[in-house]
Amino acid sequence: MSAAKKTRTSVTAQPDAAFPPARKGDVTFSELNRDEIEAMLLRNNVGRLAFSLHDRVDIQPIHYVYERGWLYGRTSEGDKLMALSHNQWVAF
């Protein structure tokens, strides 16, 4: 596997009264390589599932297990499953 090109972009967090920043100052975004992605997936057990329903995008937490390249999700009945029955395009 070839090394992934890392791209770094700095932005200054703008304070918002409704959603204050977790940290003050600059935030750095970078592209993760496969090893970094797998380490993050193994280290955590809650992710976010983004999906659309009726021209609206929603982001909901979902419990998961990552094993040998596969994500296994666990959720209860509700908006996520209803949305997936109508539109199978999601982002994790």
CATH class of domain segment(s) 8-91: mainly beta
Q: Whole-prediction pTM value?
A: 0.57
Strand pairing of 8-12 and 26-30?
Answer: antiparallel
**Is 90 within 8 Å of 79 (Cβ atoms)?**
no
Distance between CA atoms of 59 and 79, rounded to whole angstroms?
10
pLDDT for res 91: 86
**Digitized pLDDT (tens) for each residue of the chain, 92 residues in all:** 444 555 554 444 455 555 555 666 677 888 999 999 999 999 999 999 888 877 888 888 889 999 999 999 877 777 667 777 777 788 88
**What is the full DSSP assignment across 59-72?**
EEEEEEEEETTEEE
Q: Domain map of the chain by residue range?
A: 8-91
